[in-house]
Structure 1
Amino acid sequence: MKAVILERYVMHEGDLDWSGVKALIPDTTSYVRTAYEEIAPRIGDAEVVFLNKCRMDEAILAQCPKLRWVGIIATGTDNLDLKACRRHGVPVANVPGYSTYSVAQMTFSLLLAIVQCAERYDRAVKDGLWQLDIPAGYGLLPQMELYGKTFGIYGYGSIGRQTARIARAFGMRVLVCTRTVRPEYAADGVEFVPFADLLKESDVLSLHCPATPQTRGLIGAEALAQMKPGAILLNTARGALVDETAVTAALRSGQLGFYGADAFATEPLPADSPLRKEPHALLTPHIAWTTKEALQNLMDITTRNLRTFLDGNGEHIVNR
């Protein structure tokens, strides 16, 4: 059996440990990165392929008749045509839950940086300034205590649920809007509300859902107008959830107090994106999921996905 790794690292060479995969399939070829036009030739007659952001569609599948299994080293499958894979009899296995704690942690890293401006104060102190001597150009905001504030969460999967635990630890009231309220959520100490109430009551609104036809553009001009004036919006999920033009307009009008984001509609964030110039936007380059612990989890689950496929079962198949 042959395997091909189309993208062997995520941030820098060596940050993913492929030894477990290669122990299972010794005949494994790996590439640093793979452009779309290189995908089919590189897969060739391999039965197994691993990818992250590479596109897998009907055109690719038609050129790879021996392909039997795709392992995506990520949770989201937006770049894969799952129906086409199913038509060709190719199961796709993803990696759910590997970065739950890291992404929830990043959500609050963004929020704390917004409400207490630690990195901006750090820059001012290193420039020789102190307290009342700091000019407006540093972009400082009035510091905000989170205790007693209302933290809204849209989407209550593993990351949303962990984020809720952190918010409650800060003494915040937690509101949740989710498609399915499960019995085990009863002990979480959160309130489940409709979307309109989530928008109206949240001091901080955090997005934790996948990008689907129902959620794309979820936060646009209409939703922003319903939020509390000056509220904080956080997006560590998917850039497609947010209308970035509308967010920029809301920041400039003051309707939205601050936007913290680790995901964007187009990545890398284009040079002409108006968000780049917004003093009330805190932006990170989609790296919440790249802690060393999360990456180890990623590879452990990826290897287990492959092992169970070879054993004839197959875990985490998303297109059965």
Structure 2
Amino acid sequence: MATLAAPVAAVRLAVRRALDRPLDADPAPPGPAPGRAAGRVLVACSGGADSLALAAAAVFVGPRRGVDVGLVTVDHGLQAGSARRAQDVADWARKAGFAPVEVATVEVGGRPGGPEAAARDARYEALVSAAHRHRAGTVLLGHTRDDQAETVLLALARGAGPHGLAGMPAVRRLDGIALCRPLLDVTRAQTRAACAALDLTPWDDPHNTDPSYARARVRSDLLPALVEALGPGVVGNLARTAALVAADTAALDALAADHLTAARDPAGGLRVAALAALPAALRGRVLHAWARELGAAPAALSHRHVEALDALITAWRGQGPTFLPGGIRVARHGGHLGAG
């Protein structure tokens, strides 16, 4: 009997754990939850080593766990030959036993943010739409431990705070669909080795080595330099830091939600006295959550905006209103904060 290659076993084990895990045990925003990942899942597969290894593991493990496994490959239209590559991935998927299989073509141009953010937003919209269309509650994404370490470094560089340092969540819900990352404890080297062991030929996206992209520079220059200076454990340590910060952040966010409820006034504003009594870490989270409720776009809402709201509480000198993204006006009237 042939011995199963260790990298293949590692990826399959990660997928099995993800499929067996009760997804509603994970922190998530309010909304319909798919419960367990039973029934049908879709794999997001670009043809790169990470998503190809994930797909191969999912189509092996899924049927053995009573789960139908489909595949979606997204054509961003950003490179010559992208449609052909997407079709090649779809052809492989059909032969490998995935059903359904879909090529989703998206428009990236004209979206807000940089090219990386625009492509990501378009991709997630397409994946969620495909999941609804095919009645799948979960989409599996191929992000690895290395991707998580890169995300933490980029968050540090931006000064993103705890939510950024928490990295990518193992499970995130978007429009009722669970976006699940089973490979956050699997390395990029393992996914490449798994593909080699399974005689799969991954596609290497040239964007991953294009120095015009910040993540590509972190991948090719910064992270290798850190490994050389601090040792190979730095990648796992960065990913572990993200997991620890994520757990703390989830607990603080839950407390903040309770305090937001307690601070509300009958007019829809917030009582200053209730906010002033909170530690700064909790008060900032309460104000951030309230600003989002008022309609401030999360991507545009910065620490500067939250500090301005906080000044209406802790540094009140009769100053005028502060303005949040979208032109939202927040002012203090006596012992209350209100919008409008």
The normalised TM-score by structure 1 is: 0.31
TM score, norm. by length of structure 2? 0.30
> Higher helix share goes to which structure?
2
